[in-house]
């Protein structure tokens, strides 16, 4: 990219550092206020680097599916700066020279093959039995980036470019494995503590001590703990520090290394707590439809869902809604049996439409009221985040954070409400704390700056598509030279993609 003056893939369309200098200065000036302990600032103050030479990047990792449903590690890097989103200003990518007031576009438009850069393809068979292979991959990748962060890349007459990794993102499972995190969702207690025993849990969160020194389900205690994690040093959340925070520039502030591992709001809701919310909501709605049994009522709901998707020009993805989709047959807890995030989006939009069209239903009881209220708030949260820029004005960010908190509280109320009725619904899963952490981060940033970093920039919806495309390449080459041939196929693909 540097040799051919084609840095637009990581600079939101600007092909050179000189063209992007205003954008980069704006980014780092705002970032400094919300991350004052970042080690880059000392180098900038000493004149070792210039703001306009530093390009922010994320690492991203995930497992795709290769031969015989085996796993394959796909590791890439990307910029938080891109070409906006489909929900944002349609003319944004055409007006890059005039960034406007808020300014910097998110990185969701255009193909992942254009905006994500593949580094590693490794079949799971190579590292499943030997963790040294996994560690060696990250040591090598991080060593390369560490060298670039220190020495930069010479662009000839255009000066130098310094790629700066500002975080590692991926689904929660990847973060745990890549960061050797001991405090994570995997350590969530499987049941209530026995009466009379005071045994501390292992902790579910690498950013605070939720689930260890206090019950993370207690929102008041969780908010207090999240605030204290900014002021008091906590035990490190790993058994062995990963290469990323050992070798790369990072936040040297209080517990700053832990914050290198970014929480994914999109995964946490659409493939986590949102499935439980939507499944429980559908079971709640069906009781207000006509029909002598649950199957008949779900049949009517399916017809309404198809009509809703058609009227709003939405891909319905699923052909019908039934009790098996909800996973709530008999006394079983409805968890949502689908595995596509877009289904969660569709169902939440459908539920909001249903409650809007049937206002008399909303007043049936408190459970229905908070279901309608929470659904509207979480839909608005994502709608406003995706239509925003990389940086949100404080007032807007606080409004969005408030809506997110109202959803969290609505979910907690539904869990309590159905427990009183003896129904197993709306389980308290660690993903709810993930959403709470994102809310806490936005509130903290609002106290430090007039700009709030859009948390949707650290989500992985686009990256899932990129990983899927790369995984397809691994199924199109010889298994004996899978990594090499997959990377060669990728280079051939992007040569065609970038030309167009």
- What's the domain count of the chain? 2
Q: Is residue 405 part of a domain?
A: yes
Q: Domain check: are 495 and 424 in the same one?
A: no
Same domain, yes or no, for 472 and 388? Answer: no
List pLDDT tens digits, range 431-473: 999 999 999 999 999 999 999 999 999 999 999 999 999 999 9
**What does each C-alpha distance from 39 to 29, 35, 245, 250, 381 come to in angstroms?**
14, 10, 12, 6, 32
Question: What mean pLDDT comes out for the span 125-139?
Answer: 89
Whether 334 and 416 share a structural domain = yes
Q: What is the DSSP letter of 499?
A: H
Is 149 found in the same domain as 56?
yes
Domain co-membership, 65 together with 114: yes
**437 and 464 inside one domain:** no
Check whether residue 297 and residue 386 sit in a common domain.
Answer: yes
Task: Give tens-digit pLDDT for 362-398.
Answer: 999 999 999 999 999 999 999 999 999 999 999 999 9
**Long-range Cβ pairs for the range 300-307 (8 Å, 24+):** 304/350, 304/354, 305/346, 305/347, 305/350
**Do 327 and 474 lie in a common domain?**
no
Instruction: For residues 275 and 401, state if they share a domain.
Output: yes
328 domain residue, yes or no? yes
Residue 94: band (very low, low, confident or very high) from pLDDT cuts 50, 70, 90? very low
| Residue 387 placed within a domain | yes
- Residue 199 counted as domain residue: no
Whether residue 380 sits in one domain with residue 296 = yes
In a domain, 469, yes or no: yes
Q: Report if pTM > 0.85.
A: yes
Task: For 204-255, write each residue's pLDDT tens digit.
Answer: 999 999 888 788 999 999 999 999 999 999 999 998 999 999 999 999 999 9
Cα 58 to Cα 81, 113, 164, 296: the distances in Å are 10, 16, 8, 49
429 and 380, same domain (yes or no): yes
Host domain of residue 383: 265-455
Are residue 23 and residue 164 in the same domain, yes or no?
yes
**465 Cβ neighbours under 8 A, 6+ residues apart:** 112
């Amino acid at each position: 990219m540097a040799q051919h003056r084609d840095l637009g893939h990581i600079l939101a369309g600007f092909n050179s550092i000189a063209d992007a200098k205003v954008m980069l200065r704006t980014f780092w000036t705002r970032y400094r206020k919300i991350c004052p302990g970042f080690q880059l600032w000392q180098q900038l103050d000493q004149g070792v680097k210039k703001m306009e030479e530093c390009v922010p990047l994320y690492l991203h990792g995930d497992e795709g599916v290769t031969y015989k449903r085996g796993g394959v590690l796909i590791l890439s890097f990307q910029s938080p700066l891109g070409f906006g989103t489909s929900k944002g200003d349609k003319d944004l990518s055409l007006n890059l020279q005039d960034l406007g007031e808020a300014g910097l576009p998110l990185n969701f438009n255009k193909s992942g093959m254009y905006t994500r850069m593949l580094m590693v393809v490794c079949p799971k068979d190579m590292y499943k039995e030997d963790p040294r292979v996994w560690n060696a991959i990250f040591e090598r990748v991080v060593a390369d980036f560490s060298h670039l962060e220190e020495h930069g890349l010479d662009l000839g007459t255009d000066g130098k470019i310094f790629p700066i990794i500002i975080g590692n993102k991926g689904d929660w499972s990847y973060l745990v494995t890549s960061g050797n995190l001991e405090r994570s969702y995997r350590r969530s207690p499987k049941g209530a503590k026995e009466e009379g025993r005071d045994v501390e849990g292992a902790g579910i969160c690498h950013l605070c001590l939720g689930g260890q020194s206090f019950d993370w389900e207690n929102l008041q205690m969780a908010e207090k703990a999240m605030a204290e994690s900014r002021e008091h040093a906590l035990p490190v959340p790993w058994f062995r520090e990963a290469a990323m925070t050992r070798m790369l520039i990072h936040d040297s502030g209080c517990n700053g290394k832990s914050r290198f591992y970014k929480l994914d709001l999109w995964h946490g809701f659409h493939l986590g707590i949102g499935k439980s919310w939507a499944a429980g909501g559908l079971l709640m709605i069906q009781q207000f439809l006509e029909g002598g049994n649950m199957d008949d009522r779900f049949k009517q709901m399916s017809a309404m869902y198809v009509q809703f998707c058609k009227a709003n020009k939405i891909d319905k993805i699923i052909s019908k809604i039934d009790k098996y989709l909800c996973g709530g047959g008999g006394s079983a807890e409805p968890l949502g049996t689908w595995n596509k995030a877009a289904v969660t989006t569709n169902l939440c939009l459908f539920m909001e439409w249903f409650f809007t069209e049937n206002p008399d239903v909303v007043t049936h009881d408190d459970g229905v009221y908070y279901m309608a209220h929470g659904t509207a708030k979480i839909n608005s949260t994502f709608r406003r985040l995706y239509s925003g820029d990389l940086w949100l004005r404080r007032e807007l960010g606080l409004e969005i954070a408030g809506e997110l908190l109202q959803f969290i509280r609505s979910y907690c109320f539904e869990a309590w409400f159905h427990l009183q009725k003896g129904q197993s619904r709306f389980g308290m899963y660690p993903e709810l704390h993930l959403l709470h952490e994102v809310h806490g981060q936005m509130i903290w940033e609002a106290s430090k700056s007039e700009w709030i970093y859009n948390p949707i920039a650290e989500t992985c919806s686009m990256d899932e598509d990129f990983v899927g495309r790369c995984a397809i390449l691994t199924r199109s080459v010889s298994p004996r030279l899978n990594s090499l041939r997959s990377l060669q196929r990728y280079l051939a693909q992007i040569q065609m993609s970038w030309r167009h």
